[in-house]
Structure 1
Amino acid sequence: MSGAPEAGAQAKVDCAKVKCIALTFDDGPGEQTPALLDVLKKEKVKATFFLMGKHVEEFPAIARRTAAEGHAVGNHTYGHQSLTSSNDSEILDELRVTQTIIEETTGRRVTMFRPPYGHTDERVLRLAGEQGLAQVMWTGTTLDWKLRDAKRIKAAVLRLAGRDGVILMHDVVPQTVKAMPSIVKELKKRGYHLVTVPTLLGGRRLEAGVSYP
């Protein structure tokens, strides 16, 4: 809700004092997302989901559940087009329409976005900032959409894992969801607290027009 504290913030975890990592999932919600949410709920960990507007329209109940269970949600545009090759009005449409769909579906006004394919520049960042959005990139990508193999996806996460890391995955890749129970268990064994991006950043409000991490 717009007047609530930063959505997805986990106040009881202080990442300045403990080893944190943020698992992030793009392109959902999708048919695989409920199984992923089940794993996160069972393990009592939070993640960050960058939602596509057209998929929120297709799976509204899953989007509502994602937000209701305390995960952070962000804008991943409506149709996943490259923003750097779009004109200003197309960029604004992709962001604004998705903002409205997510807010009307989940009751949550999102404050962060992730550009499809990681395609961004100063113009994209400026236009997003005008919409009250901070940009969230990543410190490592699993390339799970290409690997399509649970063991290799798990190995990629563990190779990329580091304190304050932001790991990019996709909840629409079945093998990623399949790998998640063992990924979470191994990260916990290594001493990581699995948190949302806002929690990783100290629970502070992300600044519009600024790129993180």
Structure 2
Amino acid sequence: MKKLVWFILAVFTLLIIIKDGEALAVENNNNNDKQALSFHKDLELVDDHISYIPIWSFVDAIDAELVISQKTKSVKLQIDSNWLLFSTEEERVETSDGRTLSNKLLYKDENIYLPLQFVSDYFGYKATFMTQEKNNNDKKVIEERDYIQIEKEVSKPERKEKVKVEEQKPVVYLTFDDGPNEHIVPILDTLKEKQAKGTFFMLEPLMKKYSNEVIRLVNEGHYPALHSVTHDKDKLYLGDPLNVAKEMEKTRKTLLEITGVDSTLTRVPYGSKPFMKDSLRDGLVTKGFQMWDWNLDTFDWKYQSSNPQMIFQNVKNGVKALKGSKEPLVILMHVNKGTAAVLPDIIDYLHGQGYECAPYNPNSHFMMNFWNDERL
């Protein structure tokens, strides 16, 4: 259903329908310092005692700009510096003054409907509905004149100028293992400067030691993930098949205590092959964990001291090799001095190739493990 709704939203600018009888008026109201908006009653759609009107009726009445984002799956209504950002998948709206409120859009007959009172109040309008009085000649003339005026305003060339559909860039996931440590700060500084996001697979004892840095990376929009307690092959992969799951659970609880984030994304030390046999993977599944490996290895552990530029070169080689692949790009790096040194060049290169550096999104999890285990 969500896919259908978003499809309707994405193509909405190409399916503009101007219905007969649509009319509206905008006039000054000096009594309450608001502009008055009037809409025909037949435009109204009522849901749960809330009145909605087609989005274009409001956009055209107040000369607002509409921004449709495929990346964030949102609809943004903007007038100058004031805006409302509706999520198309959740019943919430963000406001330009920093609030997040409970509200929603409706979809019917390939039209998007806005909650009239909520939107009009936010932008400083008083909204009312007009009942067409056919026997009143003066009113009929006014409505016909308004209809002609609005019809000109909403001609297709005008509407194209008012709508922006944001293109969705290909995504790359910068992932960092074995932190946090003394090199986390320059890495976070670079990510912030370059407006890029990362995913950090962290060790439980180091999270305790560098808790402020863990809090910072979460606050700056990066995703915190789990990389075990011991990082010891023998302790993880020998003996009890629940060993990996137990270490990830301890790491998960520590992260939750520090940040309030309940993360279930794991990356096992040294990668999942050959160590993560069926029984170990079963343990992760039983405890509700996901598991990521990677498809581009920078070998930064090998070149961090001897030749950091090879880290950058490996990224370029890997991107070229995976060009055209439908598989998401997940880059393996570590929190170390060499990666911190070349990270600005790596991000500049990826941006130059058209990629957006995004964090892992638990709501859009996809399989990325060497076993092709779809459970993880």
* TM-score using structure 2 length: 0.49
Residue 242 of structure 2 contacts residue 283 of structure 2 at CA under 8 Å; is this kept in 1? no
Select which of 145, 148, 151 maps to 2:309: 151
Equivalents in 2 of 1:142, 1:210: separation in Å? Answer: 27
Is residue 12 of structure 2 the alignment partner of residue 12 of structure 1?
Answer: no
C-alpha distance in 2 between matches for 1:138 and 1:205? 14
Shift of 1:206: 6.0
Q: Which residue of 1 aligns with 2:102?
A: none
| Alignment of 1:210 onto 2:375 | yes
1:133 to 289, 301, 305: 289
* Long gaps (5+) in structure 1: 1-10
Asked if the contact 2:242/2:280 (under 8 Å) is kept, the reply is: no
- Bigger Rg, which one: 2
Quote the sequence identity (%): 27
TM-aligned CA deviation for residue 87 of structure 1:
1.9
Deviation at 1:127, TM superposition (A): 1.0
Give distance in 2, aligned partners of 1:51 and 1:106: 13
SS in 2 for 1:31: coil
For 1:21, what is the secondary structure of its paired residue?
A: strand
Instruction: Give the aligned partner of residue 220 of structure 2.
Output: 69
Q: Is the contact made by 2:171 and 2:357 (CA closer than 8 Å) also made in structure 1?
A: yes
- Local SS of the residue matching 2:244: helix
Give TM-score scaled by structure 1 length.
Answer: 0.84
1:113 is matched with which residue? 266
Structure with the greater relative contact order (CA < 8 A, sep ≥ 6): 1 or 2? 1
More strand by share: 2
Deviations 1:63-114 (A, max 9, x none): 1111111111111001112233342343233111111111101110002100
Q: How many residues align?
A: 196
User: Does 77-86 or 33-42 show the bigger shift?
Assistant: 77-86
Deviates more, 1:81-90 or 1:154-163: 81-90
From the superposition, tell whether residues 153 and 103 of structure 1 become closer, same or farther in structure 2 (CA, over 3 Å).
same
In the alignment, the residues of structure 1 paired with residue 238 and residue 267 of structure 2 have an alpha-carbon distance, to the nearest angstrom, of 16
Which residue does 2:334 correspond to in 1? 170
Deviates more, 1:60-69 or 1:121-130: 121-130
Give deviations 1:126-179, integer Å, cap 9, x for gaps.
2112222101110121111111222111001111124621010001x2011100
- For 2:265, give the aligned amino acid: M
- Higher deviation after alignment, 124-133 or 24-33: 124-133
Report what 1:26 is aligned to: 177
2:255 counterpart residue number: 102
Calculate the aligned-residue CA RMSD, in Å: 2.4
Pairing of 1:177-192 with structure 2 (within 5 A)? 177-192=340-355
Name whichever of 113-122 and 85-94 sits farther off.
85-94
